Amino acid sequence: MQTGKEYVCLMRLHGDVSDERLLEAVKLFTGQIYQVPPVRSSVTRKPRMRTIYSAEIIERNGRDVLMRVACSGGTYLRKYCYDLGLYLGCGAHMQELRRTRAGPYDEENSVTLLDVYEAVKLYNENGEEHALREVVQPVETTIKFLPKVYVLDSAVDAVCHGADLAVVGISKLDDGIKRGDGVAVMTLKGELVALGDAQMSTEEMLDSEEGIAVDTERVIMDRGIYPAVWRTGSKDFN
């Protein structure tokens, strides 16, 4: 999934650069940048536009520069360091890298394998669910930053069967949705039903009385959890 990432990276400069010049280069490399994926990469080596949201120089020791970089998915930090080096004229490479955030998941809220073992042990031995619920988060956390469309109970099961979402099935929705945006279809209890592409903007969804609002791409919720109103409805119709 294309989500924002945050990294802490150690860049090594190949020459001496003043703090001011380094900061100026980092400023220039913030915002929209072009990148050609590195030689050893799994994608086509064509220039691509990527976004550096922000960058912070945490610490500097001579030619070693420790940075925190927030960027869009698919940004190569190895390339970012190399390109910074080219701009500065002295060259540079990435010495070490650690990802500290992927979409909604950040390092601070991560757990270790040992945490998982202990939580499972507590559950198996004492039936204690609390630790297990701390370690395992609901699937809804994955779409924390996607715009959401909340649907009526009566619309849920149709979407679970792969139907596109009709605008009349919508109860609430997030602002700022544009046609073609990826959206999450949710129940009014906050459960993830499906992922899809918006066929209307927020304004159109609010104002329309007919038409398809979301093209369902990927169904997450099992069928039969909510009543199949659409099925009985069609039976009555026939």
Partner 1 sequence: MSRVVEGLIPPWQHKRRTLTRFEAKTDTRYGYNPYERPIRMHLRLGVINLDKPRGPTSHEVSSRIKDLLGIERAGHGGTLGGFEPGDIRPFLACYRYY
- Nearest 5°: CA angle at 145, between 106 and 66? 35
Q: Total residues at the site for partner 1 (CB under 8 A)?
A: 84
Which range of residues in 54-62, 79-87, 230-238 is near partner 1 by CB under 8 A? 54-62
**Residue 118 binding partner 1, by CB under 8 A:** no
**Residue 159 binding partner 1, by CB under 8 A:** no
Cβ 237 to partner 1 shortest distance, Å? 22
Binding-site member from 102, 122, 131, 212 for partner 1 (CB under 8 A): 102
**Residue 232 binding partner 1, by CB under 8 A:** no
Which range of residues in 48-56, 84-92, 230-238 is near partner 1 by CB under 8 A? 48-56
Q: How far apart are CA 123 and CA 132, in angstroms?
A: 7
DSSP at 162: T
**Residue 49 binding partner 1, by CB under 8 A:** no
**Residue 217 binding partner 1, by CB under 8 A:** no
Which range of residues in 79-87, 137-145, 230-238 is near partner 1 by CB under 8 A? 137-145
DSSP at 68: E
**Residue 110 binding partner 1, by CB under 8 A:** yes
Q: How many CA atoms within 13 Å lie on the side-chain side of 50?
A: 25
Provide CB contacts within 8 A for 57, sequence distance 6+: 22, 23, 26, 65, 66, 67
**Residue 201 binding partner 1, by CB under 8 A:** no
Cβ 238 to partner 1 shortest distance, Å? 25
Binding-site member from 36, 99, 163, 181 for partner 1 (CB under 8 A): 99
In a 10 Å sphere around its CB, with 0-12 CB exposed, 13-18 middle and 19+ buried, how is residue 20 labelled? exposed
Cβ 46 to partner 1 shortest distance, Å? 18
Binding-site member from 120, 122, 131, 212 for partner 1 (CB under 8 A): 120
Backbone angles phi, psi at 110, to 5 degrees: -85, 160
**Residue 137 binding partner 1, by CB under 8 A:** yes
Which range of residues in 82-90, 220-228, 230-238 is near partner 1 by CB under 8 A? 220-228
Cβ 65 to partner 1 shortest distance, Å? 9
CA distances from 238 to 3, 116, 232, 233, 234 (A): 46, 53, 10, 9, 6
Binding-site member from 12, 104, 122, 212 for partner 1 (CB under 8 A): 104
Place of tokens 């703090």: 19
DSSP at 106: E
Please state whether 226 falls in left (phi above 0), alpha (psi between -120 and 50) or beta: beta
Nearest alpha-carbon partner for 149 in 95, 211, 196: 196
- CB nearer to partner 1: pick between 49 and 136: 136
